[in-house]
């Protein structure tokens, strides 16, 4: 697999979530994704960026343009150095929230993308990677 292009953004406050989704939108358009695919990826990115800001104390988002054989994709990685998630399965359950949210961010964004991986360790932070292939 080839990574053809990358971009990194800082996530510190709620304006950065807007910037992240606008950047993802621009990449999805440039990569020729359909409007529905664009909207799904942008929405998933917004959820994960917000989690990094609200629970992870901020972090970074890395966008990577992928080329694997004939298929092109966009991979986005959200990394924070926050408290981590003690029970990953529970956290991904629809409706589970330790905050005031609806608890739909993790489970929902997983449904909106082709590949979803999450890794977290207490005190170390959380890394979530999503990929959408065209």
Partner 1 sequence: METIPILKVGDCLLISIQVDMHDRLAMSLQNHITEQVVKHHARGVMIDISALEMVDSFIGRVLGSIAAMTRVLGAETVVVGMRPAVAITLVELGLSLGTLRTALNVEVGMELLGSLIDASTGGAFRERQAD
Q: How many residues bind partner 1 (CB under 8 A)?
A: 27
Q: Does 103 bind ligand ATP (CB under 6 A)?
A: yes
What value, to the nearest 5°, has the Cα angle with vertex 77 and ends 74 and 79? 170
The pair of three-digit structure tokens given for residue 60, joined into one six-digit string: 């970074």
Q: Which is nearer to partner 1, 58 or 108 (CB)?
A: 108
Q: Does 101 bind partner 1 (CB under 8 A)?
A: yes
Q: Which is nearer to Mg ion, 73 or 125 (CB)?
A: 125
Residue 23 beta carbon to partner 1: minimum distance, rounded to whole angstroms: 12
What residue has token string 């359909």? 34
Where do contacts with partner 1 occur on this chain (CB under 8 A)?
A: 14-15, 17-18, 21-22, 25, 35-36, 38-40, 42-43, 46-47, 50, 94, 101-102, 104-105, 107-109, 111-112
């Amino acid at each position: 697999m080839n990574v053809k292009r990358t971009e990194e953004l800082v996530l510190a406050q709620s304006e950065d979530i807007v910037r992240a989704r606008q950047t993802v939108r621009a990449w999805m358009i440039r990569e020729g994704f359909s409007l529905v695919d664009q909207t799904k990826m942008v929405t998933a990115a917004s959820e994960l960026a917000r989690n990094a800001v609200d629970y992870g104390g901020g972090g970074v988002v890395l966008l990577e343009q992928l080329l694997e054989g004939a298929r092109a994709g966009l991979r986005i990685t959200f990394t924070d150095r926050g408290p981590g998630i003690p029970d990953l399965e529970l956290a991904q359950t629809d409706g589970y929230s330790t905050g005031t949210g609806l608890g739909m961010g993790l489970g929902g964004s997983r449904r909106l993308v082709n590949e979803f991986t999450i890794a977290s360790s207490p005190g170390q932070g959380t890394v979530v990677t999503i990929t959408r292939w065209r």
